[in-house]
């Protein structure tokens, strides 16, 4: 296949002691909230919930490590709920092997970080981390996160570093970036990574639900992955929680990991 790492050393964005497979992929899920409320309200064992059961199957079969990016609050059945309502999941996560990591995404769907002041963002993210500490534990922080609507909150670089975040994900769209200069946009498109105002950024590559929407077969998905591996040397793959209600999205996810395994592309050991 001629895989080429296009000048990007992922160890720059990771802790020194962490080994990095090559080639590699990162998988995460945005807009996460409803599933955590459902396992709480219905007292469902975490990995017996259909959504988490699927993730565990992918972990057990292909070694997938998962980053979950959280809304702090959402109105469900006419009632405003928040992460404060989520029950303690620390033991279940630890007993499963600790392969799920959490990070902030936004206050809610309507309030993206880019539309908030720096102080408002810090307040939301800090409240989110307080709840992650409570229900998942401090060792479950994701190192790379995607903010809602690809918010590029580089103004919070120092804050994020204190939380152990070493990179934000940028958009998969051809624009490259919504707020950063043209040279950074070009670097994200051409190389897949860039640093701006002290914050590292990684370009997102693929959204799983688009594979389903376009009815792509395994050969088509494999070709897309190969193109990304040749250009960037790695793959950033993501989905949205609400999309897992669709059978075709779940099948596209399974196909994606099957193909990555076939290509010997490994999940990062910690996300």
Q: Domain count of the chain?
A: 1
Q: What are 168's strand-pairing partners?
A: 145, 201
CA distance 233 to 205: 12
- C-beta separation of 55 from 251 below 8 A: no
In a domain, 17, yes or no: no
In a domain, 246, yes or no: yes
CA distance 217 to 7: 31
Question: Per-block average pLDDT, block size 10, for the chain (271 residues)?
Answer: 46 54 92 98 98 98 98 97 98 97 98 98 98 97 97 98 96 96 96 96 97 98 97 96 98 98 92 76
CA distance 149 to 30: 10
In a domain, 36, yes or no: yes
In a domain, 159, yes or no: yes
In a domain, 8, yes or no: no
Q: What is the pLDDT of residue 11?
A: 54
Domain extent, residue 32, equals 22-267
In a domain, 6, yes or no: no
Query: CA angle, corner 209, sides to 207 and 211, nearest 5?
Result: 85
- C-beta separation of 30 from 146 below 8 A: yes
In a domain, 15, yes or no: no
pTM, to two decimals: 0.94
- CATH number of the domain to which 41 belongs: 3.20.20.370
In this structure, the number of other CB atoms found within 10 A of the CB of residue 91 comes to: 10
**Three-class DSSP category at 263:** coil
Write the CA distances from 75 to 33, 59, 83, 242, integer angstroms: 10, 31, 12, 14
In a domain, 231, yes or no: yes
């Amino acid at each position: 296949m001629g895989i080429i790492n296009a000048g990007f050393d992922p160890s720059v964005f990771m802790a020194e002691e962490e080994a990095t497979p090559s080639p590699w992929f990162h998988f995460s899920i945005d807009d996460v909230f409803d599933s955590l409320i459902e396992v709480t309200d219905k007292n469902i064992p975490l990995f017996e919930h259909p959504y988490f059961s699927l993730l565990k199957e992918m972990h057990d079969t292909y070694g997938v490590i998962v980053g979950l990016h959280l809304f702090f609050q959402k109105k469900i059945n006419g009632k405003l709920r928040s992460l404060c309502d989520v029950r303690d999941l620390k033991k279940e996560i630890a007993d499963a092997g600790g392969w799920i990591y959490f990070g902030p995404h936004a206050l809610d769907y309507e309030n993206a970080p880019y539309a908030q002041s720096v102080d408002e963002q810090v307040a939301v993210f800090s409240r989110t981390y307080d709840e992650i500490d409570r229900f998942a534990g401090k060792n479950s922080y994701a190192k790379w996160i995607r903010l809602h609507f690809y918010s590029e909150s580089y103004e919070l670089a120092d804050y994020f570093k204190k939380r152990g975040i070493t990179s934000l994900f940028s958009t998969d769209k051809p624009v490259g970036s919504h707020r950063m200069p043209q040279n950074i946009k070009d670097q994200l498109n051409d190389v897949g990574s860039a640093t701006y105002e002290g914050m590292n950024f990684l370009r997102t590559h693929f959204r799983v639900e688009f594979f389903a929407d376009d009815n792509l077969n395994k050969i088509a998905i494999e070709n897309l992955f190969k193109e990304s591996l040749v250009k960037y040397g790695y793959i950033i793959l993501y989905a949205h929680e609400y999309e897992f209600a669709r059978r075709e999205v779940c099948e596209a996810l399974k196909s994606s990991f099957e193909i990555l395994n076939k290509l010997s592309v490994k999940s990062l050991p910690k996300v």
